[in-house]
Amino acid sequence: MNHAEIFADLKNKIAWLDLKPESILNHVELARNYGVSRTPVVIALNRLEVENWVARHGSHFVVSPLTVNRMREITELRMVLEPQANIWAMYRMTQDSLTKLHGIKDEIASLAPGASNKEMVRLDVKFHELLYRESHNTQVSYLLTNLLHHYLRFWLSIASRINQDNFFVEAMEIIRAIDEKDEVRLRAASAEHIKVSLDEVLRAPGI
């Protein structure tokens, strides 16, 4: 594996809590697990540090902790960028991508009662990533995707079960606004979705 593949694998494991917050990352062990020298592991860890997935502690790295301040900072950035990205997506989306968006809508509607938190969060990530890509702004899409992946760690850390009936309410409203090409409604639904996410996570036990 090269350093880019190691970076992507570690980032995915951190985002989905396979590596828990504040876990120690030992480059010697990681190099052995990946079957590589220490160099690509160190390069990957340095890149993860730049993107705030890990923090350096002396001679080793630890997975970044989850803090309320971190959650609020991510939310502030999403509130500025995401409504506009969704509006760009509404105007720039191809018919094929619109069909995929409606496919996600059908997946949400048919989600089995009692779905796990991870199942719900995976579907939410799929919904947002499609809209980010369809903004056709590479820089904004990359930044928002990274913020979203940081955000999902908070959702997955919730000790109690996510309320399935409420979790996708704003997402469905966003899809309706896109269908109707209603920019005002879309901006409002996008902002409300982010606000509700913050409120729900902060209220949940386990954060």
pLDDT of residue 142: 94
pLDDT of residue 25: 95
Tell whether pTM > 0.75.
yes
Instruction: Provide the edge-to-edge strand list for the sheet that holds 24-25.
Output: 24-25, 60-63, 54-57
> Taking the domains of the chain in order of start, what are their residue ranges?
3-63, 68-203
> Which overall architecture, per CATH, does domain 68-203 show?
Up-down Bundle (1.20)
Contact 86, 182 (CB under 8 A): no
Name the residue with tokens 């010697």: 28
Instruction: Report the CATH number of the 3-63 domain.
Output: 1.10.10.10
End-to-end CA separation in angstroms for the chain? 35
- Each residue's pLDDT tens digit, 83-138: 999 999 999 999 999 999 999 999 999 998 889 999 999 999 999 999 999 999 99
| Range from 61-65, 159-163, 187-191 carrying the lowest mean pLDDT | 159-163
Instruction: Please give the residue that has the higher pLDDT: either 78 or 159.
Output: 78
Q: Assign 185 a pLDDT band (cuts: 50, 70, 90).
A: very high
What is the three-state SS of the chain? CCHHHHHHHHHHHHHCCCCCCCCEECHHHHHHHHCCCHHHHHHHHHHHHHCCCEEEECCEEEECCCCHHHHHHHHHHHHHHHHHHHHHHHHHCCHHHHHHHHHHHHHHHCCCCCCCHHHHHHHHHHHHHHHHHHCCCHHHHHHHHHHHHHHHHHHHCCCCCCCHHHHCHHHHHHHHHHHCCCHHHHHHHHHHHHHHHHHHHHHCCCC
pLDDT greater than 70 at residue 195: yes
